[in-house]
């Protein structure tokens, strides 16, 4: 794909930012399990927290409020620090909800906040509602001018001790109607009755907050409803379509990083009297890693272009998320093999990439769910 001049500039800027600001601290972010707030502020300064936010709400007004630009930025960030890329990917999904479904006042409040570096979260998953999102049981009972939320959400990205300023919660406003009785409601971090529970200890993406959220008699004004009452499930599904392109971009960045690390290692590491890059067995690994990654990139950009053109893109979003995420797991596994024992050690970034990649075929819909979505779209 040929990028426009603005897209190339944005990609270059994101790459420079990632190498300059994230590369030196990516291992610390992983070890210390937090992304320094200054990093988020710096990202806000260059427009990454407002990737899809129009200028009128404080966005950078890049050529850029497109899905293609989102892919370019997220993949560049993920090359250096997948945790940071994840924060931006999920946050961009939340921006998208306000952009598509928010009223003017909500756009002014939350998109401007996003542009200034506040971070949004999206709460759909519950202990008994993972792949089956329709089983969500958190209630938002209408009461006068308010909704009263009760229930709990789990594995929620972008909310925890370090991150998260507001969260879009999918809750039942009319339980009899199942998915047709769910609404999207924004809850600010310090709202009474809303507490952030356990921050999960994770295999990878350790820098990013992923937590349990608890709502107990949590009262918010009805003006916090996003879109129409009982339309929340569709809002969530649409948001996930766009979000899955962001996750696929994250996977691309991890694959790119693993390939780059492997090329460097294959040039340096000498065994049997020559650099291991001369060994055909490892060359074939590398060729497959690069070929699969480029195929994934083509699919991710096709999905992004379809979304930007206003075409239906549910199927392509699921295809690219499925393929790019499985590719990242495969590529990092092979890269680790190329690195041998060194790849297993924390001194090399490969083990982090391998751990970071492993979540991507799971969150924002498992690979199995993506295949369900793809098949349903084909059979329509």
Q: Which residues are catalytic?
A: 364
The half-sphere exposure of 170 on its side-chain side, counting CA atoms within 13 A, is 31
Greatest pairwise CA separation for the chain in angstroms? 79
Interface with ligand CAA in residues 287-346 (CB under 6 A) = 314
233 neighbors 133 (Cβ within 8 angstroms): yes
Q: Does 213 bind ligand CAA (CB under 6 A)?
A: no
Tell me how far apart the alpha carbons of residues 115 and 43 are, in angstroms, rounded to a whole number: 10
Q: Which of 78, 335, 365, 374 binds ligand CAA (CB under 6 A)?
A: 365
Angle among Cα 172, 178, 182 to the nearest 5 degrees reads 35
Interface with ligand CAA in residues 106-135 (CB under 6 A) = 122, 124-125, 131-134
Q: Does 88 bind ligand CAA (CB under 6 A)?
A: no
Nearest to 186 by CA among 310, 56, 304, 94: 94
Q: Does 179 bind ligand CAA (CB under 6 A)?
A: yes
Q: Which of 233, 313, 348, 354 binds ligand CAA (CB under 6 A)?
A: 233
The nearer residue to ligand CAA, 263 or 372, going by C-beta atoms, is 372
Tell me how far apart the alpha carbons of residues 274 and 253 are, in angstroms, rounded to a whole number: 30
- Per-residue mark of binding to ligand CAA, 9-48 (x: CB under 6 A): ----------------------------------------
Q: Which of 63, 148, 237, 290 binds ligand CAA (CB under 6 A)?
A: 237
Tell me how far apart the alpha carbons of residues 373 and 380 are, in angstroms, rounded to a whole number: 11
102 neighbors 274 (Cβ within 8 angstroms): no
**Site size for ligand CAA, by CB under 6 A?**
25
Span near ligand CAA by CB under 6 A; candidates 25-33, 51-59, 110-118, 360-368: 360-368
Tell me how far apart the alpha carbons of residues 20 and 291 are, in angstroms, rounded to a whole number: 28
The nearer residue to ligand CAA, 156 or 296, going by C-beta atoms, is 156
Neighbours of 152 (CB within 10 A): 17
Q: Does 252 bind ligand CAA (CB under 6 A)?
A: no
The half-sphere exposure of 121 on its side-chain side, counting CA atoms within 13 A, is 28
**Contact residues for ligand CAA (CB under 6 A)?**
90, 122, 124-125, 131-134, 156-157, 179-180, 233-234, 237-238, 240-241, 314, 363-365, 369, 372-373
């Amino acid at each position: 794909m040929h990028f426009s001049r603005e897209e190339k500039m944005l990609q270059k800027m994101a790459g420079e930012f990632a190498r300059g600001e994230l590369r030196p601290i990516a291992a610390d972010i992983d070890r210390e399990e937090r992304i320094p707030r200054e990093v988020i502020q710096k990202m806000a300064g260059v427009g990454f927290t407002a990737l899809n936010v129009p200028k009128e709400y404080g966005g950078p007004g890049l050529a850029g409020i497109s899905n293609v630009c989102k892919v370019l930025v997220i993949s560049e960030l993920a090359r250096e620090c997948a945790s940071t890329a994840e924060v931006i990917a999920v946050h961009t999904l939340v921006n998208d909800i306000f952009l598509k479904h928010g009223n003017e006042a909500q756009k002014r409040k939350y998109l401007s906040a996003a542009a200034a570096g506040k971070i949004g979260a999206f709460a759909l998953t519950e202990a008994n509602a993972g792949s089956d999102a329709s089983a969500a049981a958190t209630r938002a009972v209408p009461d006068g001018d308010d909704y009263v939320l009760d229930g709990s959400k789990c594995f929620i990205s972008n909310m925890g001790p370090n991150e998260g300023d507001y969260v879009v919660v999918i809750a039942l406003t009319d339980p009899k109607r199942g998915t047709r009785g769910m609404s999207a409601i924004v809850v600010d971090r310090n709202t009474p009755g809303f507490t952030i529970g356990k921050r999960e200890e994770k295999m990878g993406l350790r820098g990013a907050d992923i937590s349990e959220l608890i709502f107990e008699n949590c009262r918010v004004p009805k003006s916090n409803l996003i879109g129409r009452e009982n339309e929340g499930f569709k809002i969530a599904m649409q948001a996930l379509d766009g979000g899955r392109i962001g996750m696929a971009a994250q996977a691309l960045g991890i694959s790119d990083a693993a390939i780059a690390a492997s090329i460097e290692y294959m040039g340096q590491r000498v065994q049997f009297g020559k650099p291991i890059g001369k060994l055909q067995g490892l060359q074939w690994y590398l060729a497959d890693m690069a070929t699969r990654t480029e195929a994934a990139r083509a699919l991710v950009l096709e999905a992004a272009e379809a979304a930007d053109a206003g075409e239906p893109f549910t199927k392509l979003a699921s295809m690219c998320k499925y393929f790019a995420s499985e590719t990242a797991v495969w590529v990092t596994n092979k890269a680790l093999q190329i690195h041998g024992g060194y790849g297993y050690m924390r001194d090399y970034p490969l083990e982090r990439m391998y751990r970071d990649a492993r979540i991507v075929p799971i969150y924002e819909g498992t690979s199995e769910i993506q295949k369900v979505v793809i098949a349903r779209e084909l059979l329509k």
